[in-house]
Amino acid sequence: MADSVHFTPLIGAGSDGPICGLLQVYDLVILLDCGWDERCSKELLSPLKDVSGHLDAVLLTHPDPLHLGALPVLVGQLKCTAPIYATYPVNKMGQMFLYDQCLNRAAVSEFDAYDLNDVDAAFAHITTLKYQQVFSLSGNAEGFSITPFAAGHLLGGCAWRITTPGDEDIVYAVHYNHRKQGHLNASTLSQAFLRPIALITDADNALHNPPDNRAARDKDLLDSVVSTLRKGGNVLLPVDAAGRALELLLLLDRHWDRAKLYFTLVFVAPQARQVLELAKTQLTWMSDAVLQAFERTQSNPFALPNVKVCQSREQLAALPPGPKAVLATLPSLEAGPAQELFVEWAGDPHSLILFTERPPAGSLASAVSQGTTSSQPLALKLELGHREPLQGKELEAFYASRAAHALLEEEEEEEPQPSLTPRFSSGSIGKASRTSSNAARLGLLPEEPEEDGDMYEAPVPASDILVDGFIVPKGAAAPMFPFEDEDDELAQDDYGLPLRPGEFQLQDGTAPDFITGDVAKEGEESEQDEAGPTKVVTTEASIEVRARVLQLDYEGRSDGRSMHTILAHIAPRHLVLCHGSPQAVQALAASCARDLQGLNTRVHCPQNSETVDLSEGASSVRMEVESSVLSQAAMRVIGRYEMGWLQALVTQDAPDQAPKLAFAAQADEDEGTQGGIFIGDVKLSELKAALSKKSITAEFVAGSLLCADSILVRRTDDDTGLVLEGPLSDDFYTVRSTLYALYKVC
């Protein structure tokens, strides 16, 4: 049976939204990405519910929500236990993407799709790999290997090569970029893959052919931003949290430095500071230009000295007044500081709203970019959400509900739990008041001594017992464990030393915050600053968009013409277009089917939940071999394989079962003789070196090798083998045996 390969798109077929697919090879089931839309529509994930319990592996390509947005749901709610594989930046930046999504959405709506703890739990399951690292799978996937290759679209983004036990390659490559960028190298798809059994890819940009001049595009962006600022207007660039925003930040910061601009350049997002700190630690995943700049200047390119970093709208408002260029999340304008700034600046005709990627369909950003083509201002009616503190009866109801919940949890904790029952001496506990209080709290004091007065049974929670079966000796003043120091209740510094209030005192006689514990931890608000329980309040707003709206292509993906060239060079036996608009998919499918017709490439355009068979054309065959057949074969190790000549009968019990090689008692004479297969590609230079060791002269004459002045070794006309010509002599047989020794023969 040839390699059984099937692919089923689950999400994203026929659209440019989130993407997710299911790959089945033999009994192995692999989930390829698990994207989710920005609105987190739960009905979109219904296909995942049916497959989450049958997965053997999950492969993630890019860190944005379109490729891994549903990961917290897959792991936390659908209880997927399959190993998850991604590169290190996809792991780290993916967390930042989902943190940003969660915090921005929760600020304007009752967001309950997942929380930050769900994100942490999901990403803790990821196994990180390096580019071009061959990783062998285990368990049900034994014999398979996976390898990530740079995609060039987002930091850490990759294309996956899945290699089967039959040494067939299946490539999953969506959203790649063949051009080098400011912070990323180009993809390596066309160099890394050639004639795989299947290539699963997208057709998003098949109809998109922007100008190739990167310098002209950068000039358009920089001129538009600077000219707006000089006219007194503000510039809003809606960006993602940790992907293409890095390219724009690097470009703008360098221009600010070269042009000595004094305008305020800001990056505002809930995780802005953390994103830039992570970017500083991942320079080895970036372009050669970034690494060379770091080595040359000994300054991290993502220090971004000209960029002000804000994590909230309030921090942005605290900056000095004046024109600002602000990169803010979310790119859809559906939530986050980008939405707030859009509402504030959209009515200013001197300001600029600059989109650097195509907005999601149906979003506010899409309505703005498509609706401002006329000279008339665009009128919009928006529902804007924000949070307000609970008051009055709502606040009382909230605290009553929380108290009832806490009481329920307390009752559950008080249910009797299994415990150990070690024995203790009745005379050894309670002689010191401090120890007796501890012992009473831990349940170590006896309720009723036994008849002999020496020993008693005391049930003690297992968590409070340090040594199972420990018996306190008679005459002991107190148990050594558990032990509590009088300093346990005091605040401690970073090194674990107690901070006594008497040793630190301000001039007014009070203790500082770090003694009283009022100081908040890094990244957290203090108790005094907590807003308390809040609710979401929605208001309607009417806006006229008078600001200039501009859209430039900084998506970092290959255009249609380049995609066609790359796919034609890879020339897969099966090409699957699993993502993109129907028009783009049909256009790319038609051009590839026409150009790859001579190579018998089959092009598939499946819809969601439609399974396509990719088994046809596989050159390897999977069979079961009886031990009696295998024991007669003389196996030789060639590379990472064992090869041998088998003579057996091929049988098959059922069409859906793998064929078997059964023992053949005696083969017919016309079935051929055994052996005589030469494996390898011997170079004439290697033969010449081997003959010199046997004292036979050899020299090249017109591309052939002349040996011992009478024997000629040349390549065949089709360059697939070697021909040995010359008179039969001792030298002839020596040359032939030397040549045979350079091959693997079975």
Residue 597 CB neighbour total at 10 angstroms? 10
Greatest mean pLDDT among 18-27, 208-217, 475-484 lies in 18-27
Tens-digit pLDDT profile for residues 176-204: 999 999 999 999 888 888 889 999 999 99
Q: In the predicted model, is pLDDT for residue 611 greater than 90?
A: yes
**Whole-number pLDDT of residue 474:** 67
Rg of the chain in Å (alpha carbons): 35
Residue 154 identity: L
Q: Give me the residue spans of the domains in the chain.
A: 5-209+554-613, 216-386+540-551, 624-671, 678-745
pLDDT grade for 119, boundaries at 50, 70 and 90: very high
**Whole-number pLDDT of residue 63:** 97
Greater confidence (92 vs 476) lies with: 92
Are residues 198 and 32 in contact, defined by beta-carbon separation less than 8 angstroms? no
**Whole-number pLDDT of residue 469:** 57
Query: Which overall architecture, per CATH, does domain 216-386+540-551 show?
Result: 3-Layer(aba) Sandwich (3.40)
Which of 164-178, 530-544, 725-739 shows the lowest per-residue confidence on average (mean pLDDT)? 530-544
Question: 201-229: buried (b, 16+ CB within 10 Å) or exposed (e) per residue?
Answer: bbbbbbbbeeeeeeeeeeeebbebbbebb
Give the residue among 30, 76, 67 at the shortest CA–CA distance from 51: 30
Average pLDDT over every residue of 92-121: 94
Q: Give the mean pLDDT of the chain.
A: 83
Greatest mean pLDDT among 121-125, 482-486, 701-705 lies in 121-125
**Whole-number pLDDT of residue 507:** 62
Average pLDDT over every residue of 686-714: 89
Tens-digit pLDDT profile for residues 223-236: 999 999 999 999 99
Q: In the predicted model, is pLDDT for residue 670 greater than 70?
A: no
What DSSP assignment string belongs to 110-159? ---S--HHHHHHHHTTEEEE-TT--EE--GGGTT-EEEEEE-SSSTT-EE
Q: Which CATH class is domain 5-209+554-613?
A: alpha beta
**Whole-number pLDDT of residue 503:** 66
Tens-digit pLDDT profile for residues 17-66: 999 999 999 889 999 999 999 889 999 999 999 999 999 999 999 999 99
Which of 169-173, 520-524, 549-553, 620-624 shows the lowest per-residue confidence on average (mean pLDDT)? 520-524
Tens-digit pLDDT profile for residues 258-275: 999 999 999 999 999 999
> Strand 648-651 vs strand 660-663: parallel, antiparallel, or unpaired?
antiparallel
CA-CA distance, 696 to 490, in Å (whole number)?
A: 89
Are residues 323 and 331 in contact, defined by beta-carbon separation less than 8 angstroms? no
Q: In the predicted model, is pLDDT for residue 4 greater than 90?
A: no
Q: In the predicted model, is pLDDT for residue 415 greater than 90?
A: no
The residues near 646 (Cβ < 8 Å, ≥ 6 apart) are 625, 629, 630, 632, 633, 661
**Whole-number pLDDT of residue 633:** 72
Which of 120-129, 206-215, 720-729 shows the lowest per-residue confidence on average (mean pLDDT)? 206-215
Residue 270 identity: P
Spacing of C-alpha 270 from chain mean position: 21
Question: Do the two domains 5-209+554-613 and 216-386+540-551 of this chain adopt the same fold?
Answer: no
Tens-digit pLDDT profile for residues 331-348: 999 999 999 999 999 999
**Whole-number pLDDT of residue 403:** 87
pTM for the model stands at 0.73
Phi-psi bin for 350: left (phi > 0), alpha (psi -120 to 50), beta?
Answer: alpha
pLDDT grade for 324, boundaries at 50, 70 and 90: very high
Q: In the predicted model, is pLDDT for residue 451 greater than 50?
A: no
Tens-digit pLDDT profile for residues 630-643: 777 767 666 556 77
